Amino acid sequence: MEEKDSSAAAERPSGLSTRAAEIAIALFMMLLGGLVVYDSLRLGVRWLSDGPQAGYFPFYIGLFICISSAVTLVQAMLNKAAAKKIFVEWGQLKLVLMVLIPAALFVLGIQLIGIYVASAVYIAVFMIWLGKYGWLKSVVVGVAVSVTVFVAFEIWFKVLLYKGLYNPLALIGY
């Protein structure tokens, strides 16, 4: 790790600093912890005659999330070295987003047109766009994977998968 950091410092590639990422995640965790505490208070955190109320256990869980994240937050703020460390370079982040955003669109696609068709389209587009493959090869791979999955789940194991709000496979009777 340290080797990498020193070489990174020499070239100074720009990116999101580790400190910023630490602080963001710690704040996010504190927010979650706060939500847990808030809802636990609504449910009741006291001790009744028939035992603890529903919020009793989660209340302390939420409290622990907040406290431990607060410690991490303070540590991150005081840590000068982390401000110089790179959490992710912008170039790397771009690569990550190039996978993440299509993946999110893929999930949206599943919601609309179902797993099978969305998968075939997703694999083909991914191969053409990021893998620089030809149209034909990409479409063949995408459709082949999708058909394999269809045969395995729908026909062989009789596990029905999600077909979407607008099921295109209804045209062929599924």
Partner 1 sequence: MEEINALMHGFSVALTPFNLMLMAIGIILGVLIGVLPGLGGANGIAILLPLTFTMPPTSAVIMLSCIYWGALFGGAITSILFNIPGEPWSVATTFDGYPMAQQGKAGEALTTAFTSSFIGALFAVVMITFLAPLVAKFALQFGPPEFFSVFFLTFCSFIGMGKEPPFKIIAAMMLGFGLAAVGIDTVTGQLRLIFGWHELMRGFDFLIAVIGLFGIGEILLSMEEGLSFQGRSARINTRIVIETWKKLPKFWVTSLRSCVIGCWMGITPGGATPASFMSYGIAKRMSPDGNKFGSGVPEGIVAPETAAHAAGTAALLPMLSLGIPGSPTAAVLLGGLLIWGLQPGPLLFVEQKDFVWGLIASMYLGNIVGLIIVLTCVPLFAAILRIPFSIVAPVIIVICAIGAYTVNNAMLDIWFMLLFGVLGYAFKKLSYPLAPLVLALVLGDQAEDAFRQAMLISQGDVRIFFSNWLVGSIMGLGVLMLVWPLIGRGMAALRGRAA
Q: Does 101 bind partner 1 (CB under 8 A)?
A: no
Collapse the DSSP code of 45 into the 3-class scheme (helix H, G, I; strand E, B; otherwise coil) and give the result: coil
17 and 83 Cβ atoms separated by less than 8 Å: yes
Number of residues this chain uses to bind partner 1 (CB under 8 A): 64
Q: Return the number of other C-beta atoms located less than 10 Å from residue 6's C-beta.
A: 8
Query: Nearest distance from residue 126's CB to partner 1, in Å?
Result: 4
Q: Does 27 bind partner 1 (CB under 8 A)?
A: no
> Distance between CA atoms of 142 and 134, rounded to whole angstroms?
12
161 and 118 Cβ atoms separated by less than 8 Å: no
> Distance between CA atoms of 71 and 35, rounded to whole angstroms?
18
In the set 83, 100, 151, 170, which binds partner 1 (CB under 8 A)? 100
The footprint of partner 1 (CB under 8 A) covers 18, 21-22, 25, 29, 32-33, 35-36, 39-40, 43, 47, 51-58, 61-62, 64-65, 68-69, 71-72, 75, 87-88, 92, 95-96, 98-100, 103-104, 106-107, 110-111, 115, 119, 122-123, 126-127, 130-133, 141, 145, 149, 153, 157-162
